[in-house]
């Protein structure tokens, strides 16, 4: 794919003006890091203060019409009946084999209105699947280029939002449909960093002025604009899965440790019989954390062996933890491997010792009130 074919965020010109390094994320040309920042500094800004992310490449879709919530609940894994209007929920879209088509956030506006944030590369697939399954009267719209998404993450994010007069301090995974300068914006307390923070969903054309105001509001708190490079190190420290690495058509919710996001009591959701069977069989590999005790950085697809040299799994995500200054990874491991075991990661032919852990790798404040 050439650069010309990449889609662009409503904030694209602002990233270019800041001198950001841009790269392809799910078909979108997005910032990896900004000059004067760099992944480590941007990461640290979020862990110690506040950072601002453009995540407008994320998909947006709406399912509406009488019984929309009930319809979504028959398709996606999590149980929408566990939450009320004004709440959002992490959920998964599975195929009939139990593979994971996507992981997404569903915002419950009401019985007749559910807003979805799928991953950039999977949005069209999820929308097509929902459209094909939707009964008469239910509308599924792909709104990918109708909204921007800006994440404000870090313990100082309340101060930044307050500067703009935006609502703060709602419960974790609660959202408010509000206005900023007379224009609608959705504010959800959530994020992908493990820190206290918010995700803002303005209309596409309103994203620029909102970004500018947030950039100005960051200054007193030494906040930084952060690229998707830092977003990846932050989410890996939390053990949050990335679709395409830690979740995929061949990695089920059971394997990925996302069983908590499955409504097992529901009579129906896509892939229900396959994932239910997997859950009962207790045979597939499971996602675990690996903390490198040698110097070295695990990367996706690095083989993992036990102390006696037998292959017991494979890295799905790996990076350098800027907080711990150590290599960290998520890996799918055989069930014979226990938390606390010592294993060896084959990093391009070099043996890197690691301890099997249960993420997160760092202490975090995402849910703190």
Partner 1 sequence: MSELEYPNDLSYTPEHEWVRRAADGVVRVGITAFAQEALGDVVYVSLPKVGDALATGDACGEVESTKSVSDVYSPLAGEVTGVNDDLERTPELVNSDPYGQGWMFELRPSDPSDLDALLDATAYKNQLG
Residues written for the chain: 369
Q: Does 66 bind partner 1 (CB under 8 A)?
A: no
DSSP for 217-240, written as a single string: HHGGGT-EEE-HHHHHHHHHHHT-
**Could you tell me the two tokens for 233?**
């190190």
Q: Does 194 bind partner 1 (CB under 8 A)?
A: no
17-36 positions binding partner 1, by CB under 8 A: 19, 21, 32-33, 35
Give CA–CA dist 369/366, Å, rounded.
9
**Of residues 296, 304, 323, 337, which one binds partner 1 by CB under 8 A?**
296
Q: How many residues bind partner 1 (CB under 8 A)?
A: 23
Q: Does 350 bind partner 1 (CB under 8 A)?
A: yes
**Could you tell me the two tokens for 219?**
């200054």
Among positive and negative, which fits the CA dihedral 242, 248, 254, 256?
A: negative
- 229's CB contacts (< 8 A; 6+ apart) are 32, 33, 39, 42
Q: Does 319 bind partner 1 (CB under 8 A)?
A: yes
Our CB check for partner 1 shows the closer of 255 and 354 to be 354
First to last CA, the chain: 44
**Of residues 8, 27, 40, 163, which one binds partner 1 by CB under 8 A?**
40
Q: Does 349 bind partner 1 (CB under 8 A)?
A: no
Helix axis angle for 68-75 and 123-133, nearest 10°, is 110
**Of residues 297, 353, 362, 364, which one binds partner 1 by CB under 8 A?**
297
**Residue 141 CA to its chain's centroid (Å):** 21
94-123 positions binding partner 1, by CB under 8 A: none
**Of residues 81, 181, 249, 295, which one binds partner 1 by CB under 8 A?**
295
- Shortest CB 307 distance to partner 1, Å: 23
**Of residues 6, 22, 30, 39, which one binds partner 1 by CB under 8 A?**
39
């Amino acid at each position: 794919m050439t650069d010309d074919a990449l889609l662009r965020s409503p904030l694209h010109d602002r990233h270019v003006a800041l001198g950001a390094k841009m790269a392809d994320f799910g078909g979108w040309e997005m910032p990896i890091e900004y000059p004067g920042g760099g992944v480590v500094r941007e990461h640290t800004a979020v862990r110690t203060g506040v950072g601002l992310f453009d995540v407008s490449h994320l998909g947006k879709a709406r399912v509406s019409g009488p019984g929309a919530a009930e319809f979504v609940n028959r398709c996606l894994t999590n149980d929408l009946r566990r939450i009320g209007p004004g709440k959002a929920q992490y959920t998964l879209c599975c195929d009939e084999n139990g593979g994971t088509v996507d992981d997404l956030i569903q915002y419950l506006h009401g019985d007749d209105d559910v807003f979805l944030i799928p991953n950039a590369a999977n949005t069209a697939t999820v929308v097509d699947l929902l459209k094909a399954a939707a009964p008469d009267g239910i509308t599924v719209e792909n709104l990918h280029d109708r909204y921007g998404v800006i994440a404000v993450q870090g313990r100082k994010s309340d101060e930044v939002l307050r500067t703009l007069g935006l609502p703060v301090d709602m419960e974790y995974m609660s959202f408010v449909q509000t206005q900023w300068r007379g224009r609608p914006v959705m504010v959800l307390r959530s994020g992908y960093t493990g820190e206290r923070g918010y995700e803002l969903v303005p209309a596409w054309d309103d994203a620029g002025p909102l970004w500018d105001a947030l950039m100005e509001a960051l200054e007193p708190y030494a906040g930084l604009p952060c690229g998707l490079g830092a977003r990846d190190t932050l989410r890996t420290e939390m053990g949050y899965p990335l679709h395409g690495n830690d979740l995929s058509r061949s990695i089920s919710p059971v394997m990925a440790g996302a069983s908590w996001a499955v409504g097992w009591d529901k009579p129906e959701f896509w892939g229900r019989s396959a994932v239910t069977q997997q859950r009962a069989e207790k045979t597939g590999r499971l996602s675990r954390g690996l903390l490198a005790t040698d110097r070295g950085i695990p990367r996706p697809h690095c083989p993992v062996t036990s102390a006696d040299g037998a292959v017991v799994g494979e890295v799905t995500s790996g990076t350098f933890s800027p907080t711990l200054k150590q290599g960290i990874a998520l890996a799918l491991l055989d069930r014979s491997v226990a938390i606390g075991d010592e294993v060896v990661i084959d990093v391009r032919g070099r043996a890197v010792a690691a301890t099997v852990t249960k993420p997160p790798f760092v202490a975090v404040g995402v849910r703190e009130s």
